[in-house]
Every structure is written in structure tokens, then in C-alpha cells.
Structure 1
Amino acid sequence: MTKDASFRFTHAITRRPAATITQGLRAVDTGTPDLATMQAHHAAYIATLRATGATVIELPALDAYPDSVFVEDTALCLPEGAIIMRPGAPTRLGEAAEMEPQLRALYTTIARIQGPGTIEGGDILVTGREILVGQSARTDAAGIAELRAIVTAWGHSLREVHTPPGVLHFKTDCSLLDANTILSTERLSASGCFDGYKLIHTAPGEEAAANTIRFNDVVLMPAGFPGTRQRIEQAGFTVVEIGNSECAKLDGGMSCLSLRFTPS
């Protein structure tokens, strides 16, 4: 995999928010998401991806799955093929099954986490040199071991790390800005998991800004975190802010809302 393949993509898959989004999972109840506001934010997100020249596939809402807007957890898309995940939340298992035929239409190679272990895409950070996977409440050692066997056969190196207590996903607290640069909270990087990378820390009190995505030539970040935005821009990146107030009520962020890839 080339270093640019971790942030340069020709395609993205998104799914429209379900009307049942108000029933979505959340670690702490900070309020009920407003569907209309979420739809407006989601439209801005898709428009930003398309503005880079990418093809964005918008899948219809799945009202049977309140959390289905967060498509990233259902699969890992690599240049060699796509891997269907096995979500750690039982109510989300059906989402992965719904995503499989979409990816089969785009990829020649599809693998699947069979279980009994669990793993979600939100715990996986693909860099230019390795795949980092955080063990969390949703991703366990057995799921990571099964993923390791698949990606190792495809020529990738996988390193297991640990998500801080009380943090839903590994990428809740970090994101890739380029092949060698990672945006991270200080509580996560304190573990030393990013030794050897260039680090940009979120500004004090702005830990919720850590989940961004680098998509081609722009960094999409949640709106409302000026200190972190300044740090990213000072490092030479072009930033686009997207409203995330409603997804945040369901522990969701920028990376959660899309699968990003170049089909094989």
C-alpha cells in the first residue's frame, strides 16, 4: 500500500440518517438528536467529499438500525479488498450484513470477520506504514486476532493498542492527517502508541475535535473547535468544518459517517 492510499480515495459510501436515529446508542445521554439538523450536517459532509472529485455513494436510510448512519464500523476498506466487520454492539450486526452486497459490487476480494470475536471500524486507524487497532468495549482481542490473520496475508502490519477507559472507539481520540502525522488527544498519545509519528494535539478542552478525516486534499473536522483548527492549519492542512452537534450525541464523528476507499 502506498503512503497516500491512507488518505487519497476515489470513492466513499455514506448512508442517510434513519428516522429512528433518536433511539441510537450512546454512552452518556447528552440530549436527543434532531433528525433535520443531522440531515443538514450530513448533506454538507457529502458535498465536501464530492468537492474533492470523489464518487460518493449514498445508501438509503435503514430505520431498523438506528445507528446505521455510522457506516465506518461495518467494514475496513483496503487497496487489496474489503473486510466485513463484526460489530461489538449486538443491535448493529445487521448493519454489516447490509453493507456486504454494496462492497461486493465494488471489490473483487471480500473477507469477513467470522467471530466469535468482535471488531468495529471505529477502532482501526490505517496509516502509511501500519494498521493500528485499539481494543475497546466494542473490539476485543479475538476480533483483532482474526483481522490480523487477514491483513497479514495481504501484506500489512497490524499493531494492537489500547483505547483509554471511557472512550468508545480508538478513533474517537485520534485521526490521520497524512501518512506520518496524527491528530490526537493527550490522554491517548500519553500511552506512547504514536511514537515515531509527528503528533498534533487537540487544544485544551477540545478533545472532541480529535475525530477528523483527511480526504484527498482537505481535512474535515467538527465545527466549533477553533484552537484545534488553528493547530491543524498551522501545520499546512486545508480544513473544512462540518456541523457535528447531533452525531456527537450518539458518540459519532467525522470518520464514522463514511467508508473511504479506492476499489480494487
Structure 2
Amino acid sequence: MADTWNFPEFKRAVVREVSDNVNLAQRSPISTEDIDLEKCRVEWELYVQTLRDLGLEVIVLPQDPELPDCQFVEDPCVVIGDTALITRPACGPRQGEVTKMEETMRNLGLKVHVVESDTATIEGGDIIFTGKEIFCGDSVLSNEEGFAILEETFPDYPCHSIFVEYPEFHLKGYMALAAPGVMAVCDNEWGHPGWEDVCNASNYTYKPLWMPDDFGNNCMFINGTIIHPPESQKPDTYAIYQKYLADYNLIPMTTEEVSKIDAALTCQSVLF
């Protein structure tokens, strides 16, 4: 299946340490619980070690107390093939994150494109690459100008804009690639219209896995392994992964602390 979908085999991951000031990170108004910094760092270490155990070379960037969201490297950088797009996050305080990501991608030898416009916004949390095409959330954090830059940066793949209704921030907040040709989609008021938009836009047929828990969709497919929410955190969703994706190597992983600021698994790494 992976070969049919031309889905990449990942060899590297870029991650960034948890900021001393992660509790000042961007979050929705209803997410008010404080992160336990020590527990968050323990969870992050487990996440990083898991990537290493899967055979990836993990490049670890230092934390920055001036950048509370710096752990969430998915948003300031998108990599497909040998090309990196250094994005322009919508929230001003996050725009400082792009400097280190650009430096890192250049040092790793990737072809680097940088969003230069001061009106375009685009974040990696809005972008799903399936191996055949790219879906990009039209959200409060990624706009039409950002979408156009995404298209220009990756001309070999069709790009489709998918509307993301507020208060959802990112497309990956309710949809993610669970496996080649398989989408994990939240069974909620955002997931259903989003899935309809995907089906209408694409020339390919994807299988949906409907997830009963919010953020239960957020998973990572890495070279035949699926990292997904654990039973302790999302019991109903966990059962769906175990039932329908049992042919893959499954690794449950908690995001209990970062979930307090609306973050999850994909947010914490850039894979290529």
C-alpha cells in the first residue's frame, strides 16, 4: 500500500526541546489548565526516544524561553522530498521560531523556500501530505496567500484547500493521515464537512476512520508504524486503532501535558 501511494520513507526528524515558558504558548480560550513542565519534558523525551527507536536520525534543537511554542516545530516548517518551506505563522510571537528552522534545514542540505510576504500566513498544522497530493487547511492560521505559496513551493503535487471552521485552529485538529490511503477523522462537527471537502477535491479514494474523541485523529505514520493516542487518554479512539490498523506496528503515546494547550503528536516533529 505504501508503494501504491508513493508515501515517503522517513530517515530524519527535527524536534525542539520544551520551552521553559511553555505555559505561555498559544492556546484556545477554553484551554486554561497549566502544563506540568517536568511531566511535559518526560513525555517529550519518550517521544524523541521513540523516533530514535524507529531508526530515525533525530536532530534536537535547543529550547528558547523567549519562544513558548518552540517545541511545536511542525508549524514553522514543512518538508516534502528534498524541499523545505519555512512558513509564516499567523501569531506574531511565533514568527521568531522560523529563524532556527531555516538555519537547520539549510545546514541539512535541503532546498529551502521562505515565505517572504508580510501578509501571507501558513502553518504546518494545516498541511497533510498523502504521497499523491497535499491538503491545506483554510483556517484562521493559514490564509489564501499562504496556500498559493505552498502550491508554488511544491509544484509536483496537487494542492487542495480545505475549509477549517473556527474555533478549530488547524486541519490536523480533526484529520490526519493514519496510514497510506487511510485518514483518521474526528466524528464531530468539523470532521464531517472537512471529510466531504477532501472527497470532493481529490481524484483519489481514501478510507476514513471515524474517531469518537476530539484530537483522537492526531497520529503519525512512520515507515510502517503508527504512533497514536493511548488507551489511558483516548480509550474509544485507542480501540479503533487496535481494531482497524492491527496490520501495522502500533505504538500508543501520551500527549497528556501538551494537550492542555491544544497540541498533540504531529506538532512535535518535522519528518523527512
- Normalising to structure 1: TM-score of the pair? 0.92
Shift of 1:4: 6.0
Shift of 1:2: 6.3
Alignment correspondent of 2:207: 198
Q: Provide the secondary structure at the position in 2 that maps to 1:210.
A: coil
Alignment correspondent of 1:133: 136
Q: Tell me how far apart the structure 2 counterparts of residues 210 and 54 of structure 1 sit (CA, whole Å).
A: 23
Alignment correspondent of 1:122: 125
2:155 is equivalent to residue 162 of structure 1: no
Alignment correspondent of 2:227: 220
2:218 partner amino acid: N
Q: Give identity over the alignment, percent.
A: 25
Shift of 1:62: 1.0
Of the three residues 95, 98, 118, the one matched with 2:97 is: 95
CA gap 1:59/1:166 in 2 versus in 1, 3 angstroms: same
Q: Tell me how far apart the structure 2 counterparts of residues 188 and 238 of structure 1 sit (CA, whole Å).
A: 29
CA gap 1:72/1:164 in 2 versus in 1, 3 angstroms: same
Q: Tell me how far apart the structure 1 counterparts of residues 61 and 141 of structure 2 sit (CA, whole Å).
A: 24
1:80 and 1:109 in contact (8 A); partners too? yes
Shift of 1:6: 3.8
- Normalising to structure 2: TM-score of the pair? 0.89
Flag as ranges the 4+ runs of structure 1 deviating above 4 A.
Answer: 1-5
1:129 and 1:179 in contact (8 A); partners too? no
Q: Provide the secondary structure at the position in 2 that maps to 1:208.
A: coil
Tell me how large the CA RMSD over aligned residues is. 1.7
Alignment correspondent of 1:79: 81
Q: Tell me how far apart the structure 1 counterparts of residues 259 and 191 of structure 2 sit (CA, whole Å).
A: 22
Alignment correspondent of 1:247: 258
Alignment correspondent of 1:36: 38
Alignment correspondent of 1:260: 271
Q: Tell me how far apart the structure 1 counterparts of residues 71 and 4 of structure 2 sit (CA, whole Å).
A: 28
| Structure 1 residue runs without a partner (length 5+) | none
2:239 partner amino acid: Q
1:212 partner amino acid: C
Q: Tell me how far apart the structure 2 counterparts of residues 256 and 35 of structure 1 sit (CA, whole Å).
A: 17
Alignment correspondent of 2:202: none
**Residues 25-75 of structure 1: per-residue CA shift (max 9 Å, x gap):** 111233111110100100111111111111111111111100000000011
Shift of 1:8: 2.7
Q: Tell me how far apart the structure 1 counterparts of residues 15 and 74 of structure 2 sit (CA, whole Å).
A: 9
1:3 and 1:128 in contact (8 A); partners too? no
1:213 partner amino acid: M
Q: Provide the secondary structure at the position in 1 that maps to 2:226.
A: strand
Alignment correspondent of 2:176: 175
Shift of 1:200: 0.3
Higher relative contact order (CA 8 A, sep 6+): 1
CA gap 1:55/1:5 in 2 versus in 1, 3 angstroms: farther
Q: Tell me how far apart the structure 2 counterparts of residues 150 and 59 of structure 1 sit (CA, whole Å).
A: 25
Q: Tell me how far apart the structure 2 counterparts of residues 5 and 70 of structure 1 sit (CA, whole Å).
A: 26
Shift of 1:95: 0.1
Alignment correspondent of 2:58: 56
1:114 partner amino acid: E
Q: Tell me how far apart the structure 2 counterparts of residues 7 and 209 of structure 1 sit (CA, whole Å).
A: 23
| Structure 2 residue runs without a partner (length 5+) | 200-204
Q: Tell me how far apart the structure 1 counterparts of residues 254 and 191 of structure 2 sit (CA, whole Å).
A: 26
Shift of 1:108: 3.7
> For residues 5-44 of structure 1, what are the structure 2 equivalents within 5 Å?
6=7, 8-27=9-28, 28-44=30-46
Q: Tell me how far apart the structure 2 counterparts of residues 16 and 112 of structure 1 sit (CA, whole Å).
A: 23
